[in-house]
Amino acid sequence: MQNYFFKHALLANGWQENIRVKISSDGLFSDISVNETLRYNDIELDCVIPAMPNCHSHVFQRTMAGLTEFKTSESDSFWSWRELMYQYANQIDADQLYHVARYCYAEMLEAGYTSICEFHYIHRDLNHSNNTENMSMAIINAANDIGIDLTLLPVLYTQAHIDGSPLSGLQQRFKLSVPEYIQLYQSLQQKLHEGQNIGICFHSLRAVSIEQIKIVLNELDTGQPIHIHIAEQTAEVNQIQQHLGKRPVELLFKHVDVAANWCLIHATHLNKSEIKLITRSKAIAGLCPMTEANLGDGIFPLTEFNQQSGRLAIGSDSHILINPFQELQMLEYSQRLNDQKRIIASSADSPNVGTFLWNSAIKGGAQACQLPIDGIQVGQKANWLSINTDTTLLTNLKGKQILDTMIFASNQIPVETYRFGQKQASMTKNIVENYKNTLKSLR
């Protein structure tokens, strides 16, 4: 059992100094005490923050990051991007997905994420055989081999539009009937590696009907994580309202008992009553600020959401960038640009934006993953980031200033990632070479 001494660390109740932590043999924090002195054999680290959970990933999209930044029509949008994305979704096989996931998850560990919710919808093999597990197994094995915590979210995706129209040719790999979905979920539950988690997932209210959601919940809901894309695009909000008479958040809450185990991904377009519904339910708003900016989704109403003590998590989604610091920067900057104000995400207890946002996203991310990753607390996994304070930019700064500087002013991510109390060195030559070879065959 190794003991550590942190000179500054961000705990759940804010920044503390001179912290001694003990790690149990199973890699959890077993004791944390503040205002301590360094003892013989302690490993000393200068500045430590909790490692970030990543609440939303479509890992295959990392292969197309940067390759959709060109004009295809006068009205390029999320919907034209989606057509390009489908081309990538339709050429990747299970072996390639494994190599992409290994590389991308290793990138995440280097950037400061130690857990991932994989929102996985490419179920069918390239040859459209009846096997729907191979692609999920690629994710399960890649996460285990790299050493990142996984909450696998197999996705139900049954229709092309809210009107129930059938999936298009390019969407056939996503297709599962409700009985097939339930069977796949139950089978994958048996195939997880130790410590991995699984949750229920509905693609969106345009891709799954309320009736189908009810059947799945009836069969499978035991309080595990439940994720859904909820209100990413105004066009989808309008379509759902036209067809079913309610906006997506209102519709979901009308028909389903949405509680703290729900994570509403891209809860971007909310009216006042929808903000109230979400915050009262204690469900998570799963925000992916860099992807939402890249896709032109819209701006999340953070001020009002925070005023009602809403819970949020962050995800890297399309992986246009893999950097939790920049995700939080974008979240704050989008508000400043919209409101023409500064310092949006803060509270009386936590006036510094970096501290406020980092701790909010840790708490919300742990809830969205349902894993013991809720920061530096006894009983949680000993996952953290040690910040290299020798970096010129961080000279002579302390805790809250360091984190603000990392989020708003750093061109690099000068961190070392620890998982189960051990320093991670995940990226290897073999992972890089296999990824490069995969890119050569996909591009």
Cite the active site residues: 266, 317
Question: Residue 107: which of 65, 79, 169 has the closest Cα?
Answer: 65
Closest residue by Cα to residue 296 from 327, 334, 326: 334
What count of Cα atoms within 13 Å lies in the side-chain half-sphere of residue 382?
A: 23
> Measured between alpha carbons, how far is 390 from 121 in angstroms, rounded to an integer?
43
Q: Are 8 and 17 in contact (CB under 8 A)?
A: yes
Q: How far apart are CA 188 and CA 119, in angstroms?
A: 14
Distance CA 186, CA 193 (A): 14
The answer to whether 419 and 51 are in contact (CB under 8 A) is yes
Q: Is 332 helix (H, G, I), strand (E, B) or coil?
A: helix
Stretch (H or E) spanning 80: helix 78-89
Burial (CB count <10 Å: 0-12, 13-18, 19+), residue 7? middle
**How far apart (Å, rounded) are the C-alpha atoms in residues 149 and 67?**
29
**Residues present in the chain in total:** 443
Cα–Cα–Cα angle for 106, 61, 180, rounded to 5 degrees:
100
DSSP class per residue in 152-210: EEEEE---SSTT-PPPPGGGGGG---HHHHHHHHHHHHTTPPTT-EE-EEEEETTTS-H
Q: How far apart are CA 240 and CA 255, in angstroms?
A: 14
Distance of alpha carbon 51 from alpha carbon 395, whole angstroms: 22
Name the token pair of 313.
């998590």
